[in-house]
């Protein structure tokens, strides 16, 4: 979920609550608060906690809530994950440490320390090497499955091969989610169970319908919906996320504001592409 900002750059908590309610009504089974799309790197921990509390009140148990609690500092990630548990999160999204590029044994130690510090809180490990500079190997993930709260994985390496490799190492013990809207259907075909979505901000019912059609065995319907969604998925990543999705929400009547620096608002070319793509998508 994006983080709405006012014109002065402050977090718009009432609008965040309204958007959360809307996303759940549009078919999202859960919301990630303060992940990549929520601009967690430019939010203070206090802002993140306030956001989570506002969304939790608005959703009122109608969807699972995951708090982004990752950090490149293990001690900071432990503290944030414990705080997520204290705030009543249903789970935490914990990203691979970024910039410091730990080896695989360091990654294993990092995630093990977090899991042991909040054993009651389910964890979704988040692999996005294009942003972190390091990739969490499937064998490393498998080594963590003795921890009862390591339960799911957001696969954002950009390949279906990652899902296949995780399935080979972990089997059904790990719930794998696509971290790339455009790859949701291909990843479902090789064993993923859903998507942590950006496009659901503006196309939630269609994404939900695609996943449900695939799970029901109606693969032709799922493929047709995938093909309808693909231009939107491509447009939403025409520049750095969440720049395009915030522009798309503005075009749909949600005044979520510009991203915080160092991200800039979408330029006119991106806005025009999104406008045309949204207009083409609306007919069913």
Q: Mind telling me the catalytic residues? A: 126, 154
C-alpha 75 chain-centroid distance: 23
Phi-psi region of 56 (alpha: psi -120 to 50; beta: other; left: phi over 0): alpha
Give Cβ neighbours of residue 264 (< 8 Å, ≥ 6 apart): 243, 258
Instruction: Quick: pLDDT tens for 121-156.
Output: 999 999 999 999 999 999 999 999 999 999 999 999
- Computed over every residue of the chain, the mean pLDDT equals 97
Give mean pLDDT, residues 82-92.
97
Which percentage of the chain shows pLDDT scores above 70? 99
Percent pLDDT > 90 in the chain is: 99
The H-or-E segment that residue 159 falls in is none
Please tell me the predicted confidence (pLDDT) of residue 282.
73
pLDDT at 283: 64
Domains in the chain with CATH codes: 13-213 (3.20.20.70)
**Residues 206-259: pLDDT tens digits?**
999 999 999 999 999 999 999 999 999 999 999 999 999 999 999 999 999 999
pLDDT tens, residue by residue, 88-100: 999 999 999 999 9
- Does the structure show a pLDDT above 70 at 12? yes
């Amino acid at each position: 979920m994006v983080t709405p900002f006012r014109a002065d750059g402050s977090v718009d908590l009432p609008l965040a609550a309204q958007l959360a309610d809307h996303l759940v009504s549009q078919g999202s089974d859960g919301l990630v608060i303060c992940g990549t799309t929520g601009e967690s790197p430019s939010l203070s921990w206090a802002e993140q906690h306030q956001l989570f509390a506002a969304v939790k009140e608005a959703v009122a148990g109608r969807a699972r809530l995951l708090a982004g609690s990752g950090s490149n500092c293990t001690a900071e990630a432990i503290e944030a994950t414990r705080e997520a548990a204290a705030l009543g999160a249903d789970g935490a999204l914990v990203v691979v440490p970024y910039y410091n590029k730990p080896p695989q044994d360091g990654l294993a130690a990092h995630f093990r320390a977090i899991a042991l510090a909040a054993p009651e809180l389910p964890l979704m490990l988040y692999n996005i090497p294009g942003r972190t500079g390091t990739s969490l190997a499937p064998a490393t993930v498998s080594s963590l499955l003795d921890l009862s709260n390591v339960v799911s994985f957001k696969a954002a390496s950009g390949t279906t091969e990652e899902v296949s490799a995780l399935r080979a190492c972990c089997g059904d013990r790990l719930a794998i989610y696509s971290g790339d809207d455009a790859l949701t259907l291909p990843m479902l075909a090789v064993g993923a169970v859903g998507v942590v979505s950006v496009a659901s901000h503006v196309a939630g019912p269609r994404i939900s319908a695609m996943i449900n059609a695939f799970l029901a065995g109606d693969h032709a319907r799922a493929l047709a919906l995938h093909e309808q969604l693909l231009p939107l998925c491509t447009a939403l990543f025409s520049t750095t996320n969440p720049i395009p999705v915030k522009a798309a929400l503005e075009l749909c009547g949600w005044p979520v504001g510009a991203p915080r620096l160092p991200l800039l608002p979408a330029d006119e070319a991106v806005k025009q592409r999104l406008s045309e793509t949204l207009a083409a998508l609306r007919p069913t």
